[in-house]
Amino acid sequence: MAKGWILLIAATVTSLLFINYCDLIFRCGCTWLWAGADAHCNIHAPRGRHCPFCIKGYGFGVWTFMVLAQAGVVYGRTSWTWRMRLLFAVLAFPIVGIIPALVLGLWTGYWN
């Protein structure tokens, strides 16, 4: 399988599950894209905590960081089969995503 297709599949998985990952980390109220997405996210509340991914659009930067990590896995110099590249590219999404989630959560004081 061509590396471009592997990255496309991995990035699609990231795109579909990103909002659920946001809720998993921050318990902000986000849900499946087809079930309301950010309609119940605490970013819409007038007071209280606001989701660090949704503040000022930081989520796009986090998503980009994750997809770049996936590209690194896919296009890196290894002798992996396409199945291994796909597996590790998909796994890069939650593993690498924890870094900016922790940084943004701590920086914004979300868990204080």
- The pLDDT confidence band at residue 104, using thresholds 50, 70 and 90, is very high
DSSP-derived secondary structure letter, 27: -
pLDDT of residue 22 exceeding 80, the answer is yes
- Which helix (H) or strand (E) segment holds residue 62: the answer is helix 58-75
> Which of 43, 40, 47, 39 lies closest to 58, judged by CA?
43
Number of domains in the chain: 1
Domain that holds residue 53: 3-107
Question: Can you give the pLDDT at residue 78?
Answer: 83
Question: Taking a C-beta distance cutoff of 8 angstroms, is the pair 10, 86 a contact?
Answer: yes
pLDDT at 98: 95
Q: Considering the domain boundaries, does residue 112 fall inside one?
A: no
For the record, the structure tokens of 13 come out as 């998985």
Cα gap 112→61, rounded to integer Å: 23
C-alpha distances in Å from residue 47, one per residue of 25, 42, 53: 20, 9, 17
pTM for the model: 0.89
- Locus of tokens 């297709």: 5
The reply to whether 37 falls in a domain is yes
